[in-house]
């Protein structure tokens, strides 16, 4: 597997939340903004490398998992750029949810 690098372009999947529509995200091509290597896991462990992207600050992705999905994600998203796609309708956002 190749090594993750800041500035590398990579496809990421979208995310649609039932009770947190404000966090909905449209997948597509994204730019790696940070790379974290685990201090506690061996290099061959599935969760050893995590990456963050410019288009979705505060969210980390499993790099190995993304690498395994690149062909399918490219077919799905083509030239689309990953970006937030919030659904701010009240019925799709629950401010008193216990996970907040």
pLDDT score recorded for residue 94: 87
pLDDT score recorded for residue 1: 62
Strand partners, 34: 52
- Would residue 83 count as lying in a domain? yes
Number of domains in the chain: 1
Per-residue pLDDT of the chain (100 residues; tens, 9 = 90+): 678 999 999 999 999 988 888 999 999 999 999 999 999 999 889 999 999 999 999 999 999 999 999 999 999 999 999 999 999 998 888 887 665 5
- Would residue 97 count as lying in a domain? no
pLDDT score recorded for residue 40: 95
- Would residue 99 count as lying in a domain? no
Strand partners, 49: 37
Write the DSSP symbol of residue 21.
Answer: G
Q: Which domain holds residue 43?
A: 9-91
CB 58 within 8 A of CB 34: no
What is the pairing mode between strands 9-12 and 28-37?
antiparallel
């Amino acid at each position: 597997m190749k090594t993750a690098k800041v500035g590398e372009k990579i496809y990421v999947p979208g995310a649609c939340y039932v009770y947190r529509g404000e966090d909905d995200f449209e997948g597509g091509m994204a730019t790696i903004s940070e790379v974290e290597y685990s201090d506690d896991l061996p290099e061959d462990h599935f969760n050893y490398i995590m990456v963050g992207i410019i288009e979705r600050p505060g969210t980390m992705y499993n790099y190995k998992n993304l690498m395994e999905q690149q062909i399918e994600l490219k077919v799905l998203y083509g030239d689309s750029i990953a970006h937030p796609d919030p659904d701010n309708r009240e019925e799709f956002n629950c401010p008193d949810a216990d996970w907040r």
